[in-house]
Amino acid sequence: MTHEAPETAGEPEVDVADQVAAAVLAVPGVHALHPGAFGEIATYLPGRRVAGVRVADERCEVHVVLQYPAPLAATTDAVRAAVRAVVPGPVDVTVGDVVDPAAP
């Protein structure tokens, strides 16, 4: 399922996966999107991919890296809500890693 915005002069297409990625990255406690162990979690677009986001007809899958000490349940709930504002339907959220910004 791709919902593409019309391309304007010099601007790249914006896909629903890009919108999902932006919404997820705006959630406090999310450090980054996670591509999966082998880079398999992605939406493939012409000439590029959106790692960490897989959008299908009936559901959306998002893999994230959280920033310690973000609370796991509350942050994944916020991610789910942010994604549902972009695409309807079930949202699967997987935490692929947690980073501690204070760690060396």
Q: List residues bridging with 32 in a β-sheet.
A: 65
Does any domain span residue 1? no
12 pLDDT band, cuts 50/70/90, is low
Say what the pTM is.
0.84
The tally of domains found in the chain comes to 1
Does any domain span residue 71? yes
Does any domain span residue 104? no
Give the pLDDT confidence of 22-61 residue by residue, as tens digits: 999 999 999 999 999 999 999 999 999 999 999 988 899 9
Does any domain span residue 80? yes
Question: Over 38-70, what HEC string results?
Answer: CCCCEEEECCEEEECEEECCCCEEEEEEEECCC
Range of the domain at 58: 16-99
Does any domain span residue 6? no
Does any domain span residue 9? no
Residue 37 per-residue DSSP state: T
Does any domain span residue 93? yes
Query: Rounded to an integer, what distance in angstroms lies between the CA atom of residue 61 and that of residue 78?
Result: 14
CATH code, 70 = 3.30.70.1350
